[in-house]
Amino acid sequence: MMIKYRQVVSVLILLGIFAVSCRPQPPNADLPPIDSPQAHIEIKGSDTMVNLALAWTEAYQDVDPSVTISITGGGSGTGIASLLNNTTDMANASRRIRQEEINQALSLGIDPHEIVIASDAVAVIVNPSNPVDSLTLQQISDIFQGKHENWQELGGEDRPIVRVSRESNSGTHMYFLEMVLRLGDPQNRSLFHPNTLLLPSSEGIIAEVRDNPNAIGYDGLGYVTPEVKVLGIQPSPGTPAIFPSSETVFDGTYPIARDLYAYTNGEPEGAVKALIEWILSEPGQHIVRELGFVTVLQ
């Protein structure tokens, strides 16, 4: 009997703890009351744009508190796939939608509508202890194709080169392949060297480049932290290097910059339309500049 009694008490205590932990959070003063009309927007896609989307969402709470927005990363390809599967209202992508994806969408009754919402420079990054400061696009292309195996060949220390890239579901990966590795030449069929590390997130790339003096990687400028070193790009050997910034992207001197897109199913309507109009207005584009991206406003 004693044991039974004890078991009952301990179960009750556990239930109590559970009940307390399940108690709803005290209502937040910022949130609108439950009965006000609400709209919910689901945004999914590019990891490059996650921070940007978060900053927009935070600021948008002051503009229209009745709209709730949830944001998921996962990569441009993931975002477009969810738009096709109708599990998101808006897909962010750091690359243009592919023709095969458009065909797939049309067969599923989805009509992808494209809006350019910002631009971004792709920064080539190395460990801060690496003495190399700048490279030409040709050199970067050769490195990622595996034509260089040691930093000595590029004026660095006697260290092996470790190539770090995003997974192929990343829009940044595809952009880098087309514009840097293949130098923008559609006939060029070069590929990343097979031993290129394919890391599933931007954070993974920053972490590896920060810790490993052998590493070279690339990432959207908005993601680059001060713990890694951004390389300058030389237009041709011997010319002064150009570093990525809003100005150099805007005036077109920094060669590796791309547009960032939002895709919706058909013309955006209702709450999504209001959100996109706000993003394209001065307050929305101000956040773009603040986070190190490049505005689409003239």
Partner 1 sequence: MDNLLIPGSRHQTAKTRFTQAAEIVISAIIKAMGYSAIVFVIMIFVYLMTEGFAAVGEVPLSVFLSERWYPVEGFYGILPLIGGSLLVTVGATLFSVPIGLATAIYIAEIAPRWMREILKPVIEILAGLPSVVLGFIGIIALAPQLRKLLDMPTGLTALAGSILLGLIAIPTIVSVSEDALDGVPKSYRDAALAIGATKWQAIWRVSLPAARSGVLTAIMLGIGRSIGETMTVMMVTGNAPVMVRGLQSLFMPTRTMTATIAAEMGEVAQGSTHYHVLFMIGLILFLISLIVNITASAMVFRVKKRAERILS
**List of residues contacting partner 1 (CB under 8 A):** 74-75, 77-78, 81, 84-85, 100-101, 104, 159-162, 167-169, 174, 189, 191-192, 194-200, 204, 207-208, 211-212, 214-215
Q: Which residue has the tokens 């993931």?
A: 78
Of 254 and 261, the one with the shorter C-beta distance to partner 1 is: 261
Residues 11, 17: contact at Cβ < 8 Å?
no
Pairing mode of beta strands 229-230, 215-220: unpaired
Of 208 and 219, the one with the shorter C-beta distance to partner 1 is: 208
Of 116 and 191, the one with the shorter C-beta distance to partner 1 is: 191
Cβ atoms within 10 Å of 49's Cβ, excluding its own: 30
Q: In angstroms, rounded to a whole number, what is the distance separating the alpha carbons of residues 210 and 212? A: 6
Give the chain's length: 298
- CA nearest 142: which of 154, 125, 129? 154
Write down the least CB distance from residue 45 to partner 1, Å.
11
Write down the least CB distance from residue 228 to partner 1, Å.
15
Of 146 and 232, the one with the shorter C-beta distance to partner 1 is: 146
Give me the DSSP letters along 196-219. Answer: -EEESSHHHHHHHHHH-TTEEEEE
Write down the least CB distance from residue 168 to partner 1, Å.
5
Alpha carbon of residue 46 to chain centroid = 4
Of 229 and 244, the one with the shorter C-beta distance to partner 1 is: 229
Of 112 and 292, the one with the shorter C-beta distance to partner 1 is: 112
Write down the least CB distance from residue 286 to partner 1, Å.
32
Write down the least CB distance from residue 279 to partner 1, Å.
25
Write down the least CB distance from residue 193 to partner 1, Å.
9
Q: In angstroms, rounded to a whole number, what is the distance separating the alpha carbons of residues 222 and 243? A: 14
Q: Which residues pair with 72 in a beta bridge?
A: 44
